Amino acid sequence: MKVVFHEDFYRAYTADPAAEEGRVEAVVEVIGPHVEFVDASPARIEDIEAVHTKDHIERVKRMGLHEIASLAAGGAIRAATIGLVEPCFGLIRPPGHHASSDSSWGFCYYNNMAIALEHLKNSGKIDTAFILDFDLHYGDGTVNILGGKNYVTIFNPQAHDRLSYMNEVMDEVDRCTADMIAVSAGFDNHIQDWGGTLATGDYQEMGRAVREASVRNRGGCFAVLEGGYNQRVLGHNVLALIKGLSGQ
């Protein structure tokens, strides 16, 4: 499976956990033998401005983070574009699902998912989209930007025990109908990460369900990295999702 990546994502651009040194390396080490890496390129300013206000973009520029955040957004666009024809994963950072149109928090700056889906929609490549955001934290930025747009359905699982959580996800994915199924893939709800709920195999099961739903809908699917901070397990969790999306 193709994985969108760029060596600049190795750079620790801030002191927050998402930018921690070694985090991306830990993923690449595990998934490298199993995937084909393709290069990310920065998002066009027009794509960023379709989602974020000029004031917000200027704030990100003043923080010195526009370059890396634009690269992450561009990586999400490429993953989504590849996802039209085959499953794809975007190994990108900074994450994005806490970035709203005019504000951001939670280690996020630009909303990678919103930028990618708006790009597809505005280019006439999709009519409908479904977002599964299984990050530990509610993707408020994505909801703030896309929640009022009638072409997108967003699902943030809320259950706190593993069985209920997985049942929620499977039920929702099984009945979704969309041209594109997109995953905000935060792995911080793993049993060895902050949330302490999900097993590594659960990510493979969710990925497989997403793949099967996209086939059923005759559409596409892709995922982009959000959270996940235990470097000992993050790569294995990403690989599990990739295997599921690949139909394994």
Residues 130-146 have pLDDT tens digits of 999 999 999 999 999 99
- Residue 19 confidence (pLDDT): 98
> Who contacts 7 (Cβ-Cβ below 8 Å, separation ≥6)?
none
Is the pLDDT reported for residue 223 higher than 90? yes
Q: How far apart are CA 246 and CA 242, in angstroms?
A: 6
CATH homologous superfamily of 2-245: Histone deacetylase domain (3.40.800.20)
Q: Provide φ and ψ at 243, rounded to 5°.
A: -60, -40
Quick check: 106 and 65 in contact, CB under 8 A? no
Catalytic residues, by residue number, are: 98
Domain residues of the chain, as ranges? 2-245
- Of 210, 230, 206, give the one whose Cα is nearest residue 219: 210
Is the pLDDT reported for residue 126 higher than 90? yes
Segment 223-248 shows an average pLDDT of 97
Q: Length of the chain, please?
A: 248
Cα-trace Rg, the chain: 16
Identity at 230, one-letter amino acid code: N
pLDDT tens-digit profile of 156-165?
999 999 999 9
